[in-house]
């Protein structure tokens, strides 16, 4: 399957998840997030199937706080950092699963548990496969997405 189809499926899955569970619209393609002092949360998971591969994503902590407040409204002003990590992990899990649901294959995919990736990890130094604007305003944030597919064994 050509890369452009994967890009389309990934963007569609990202939009579907952010709109349905986080009530946040996804705008069009955006420039990748600038490396700034602003803290970001990144998560990675892998999948086995036809094909196998891995998905990673990175979002600013400010954006994750807003998404978490939409997903799990709470009385507390500041949800704990552990909950933010949980939210971005589940976000990645759903985007990956939703993307793979769109793949036309006879096989099931198996997803690993998502894991937080520390800032400065090698994976994040590579330019993302795509970046999408999150929310309506430019200030709302960007989600950077990395998709790696293993070549088919022929």
Partner 1 sequence: MAMANVVVGIADCQVSKSRDEILVTYALGSCIAVAIHDPVAGVGGMLHYMLPESSISASKAAENPYMFADTGIPLLFRRAYECGAEKRRLVVRVAGGAQVMDSEGIFNIGKRNYLALRKILWKAGVLVQGEAVGGNLSRTVRLEVGSGRFWLRGPGSPSEQELGSPGSVPKGAQSWPSAS
Partner 2 sequence: MAFCVLIVDDSPVMRAFIRRIIVLSGMEGAEFLEASDGHEALHLLRQQWVDVVLTDINMPSMDGEELVRRLEADDVLKSVPVVIVSTDGTEKRMQKMISLGARGYVKKPFMPETLREELERVLGAAYAR
90 binds partner 1 (CB under 8 A): no
Quick one: what does residue 152 bind among partner 1, partner 2, none, with the CB cut-off 5 to 8 Å set by partner type?
Answer: none
Contacts of partner 2 in 105-134 (CB under 8 A): 106, 108-111, 113
12 binds partner 1 (CB under 8 A): yes
Paired residues of 134 in beta bridges: 26
Paired residues of 113 in beta bridges: none
Quick one: what does residue 106 bind among partner 2, partner 1, none, with the CB cut-off 5 to 8 Å set by partner type?
Answer: partner 2
Q: Which is nearer to partner 2, 87 or 133 (CB)?
A: 87
Query: DSSP class of residue 24?
Result: -
Distance CA 99, CA 92 (A): 10
- What is the number of alpha carbons within 13 Å of residue 111 lying toward its C-beta? 19
At 116, which helix (H) or strand (E)?
A: strand 115-117
Distance CA 46, CA 149 (A): 10
What residues line the site for partner 2 (CB under 8 A)? 16-17, 20-21, 68, 71-72, 83, 86-87, 89-90, 93-94, 96-98, 100-101, 106, 108-111, 113
What residues line the site for partner 1 (CB under 8 A)? 8, 11-12, 14-16, 19, 23-26, 69-70, 73, 136
């Amino acid at each position: 399957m050509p890369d452009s189809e994967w890009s389309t499926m990934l963007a569609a899955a990202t939009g579907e998840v952010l709109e349905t569970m986080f009530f946040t619209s996804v705008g069009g393609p955006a420039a990748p997030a600038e490396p700034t002092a602003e803290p970001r949360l990144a998560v990675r998971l892998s999948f086995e199937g036809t094909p196998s591969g891995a998905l990673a994503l990175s979002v600013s902590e400010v954006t994750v706080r807003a998404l978490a407040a939409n997903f799990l409204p709470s009385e507390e002003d500041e949800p704990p950092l552990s909950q933010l990590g949980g939210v971005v992990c589940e976000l990645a899990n759903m985007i990956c699963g939703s993307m793979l649901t769109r793949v036309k294959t006879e096989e099931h995919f198996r997803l690993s548990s998502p894991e937080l990736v520390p800032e400065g990890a090698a994976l994040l130094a590579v330019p993302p496969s795509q970046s999408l604007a999150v929310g309506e305003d430019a200030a709302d944030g960007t989600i950077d997405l990395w998709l790696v597919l293993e070549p088919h064994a022929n």
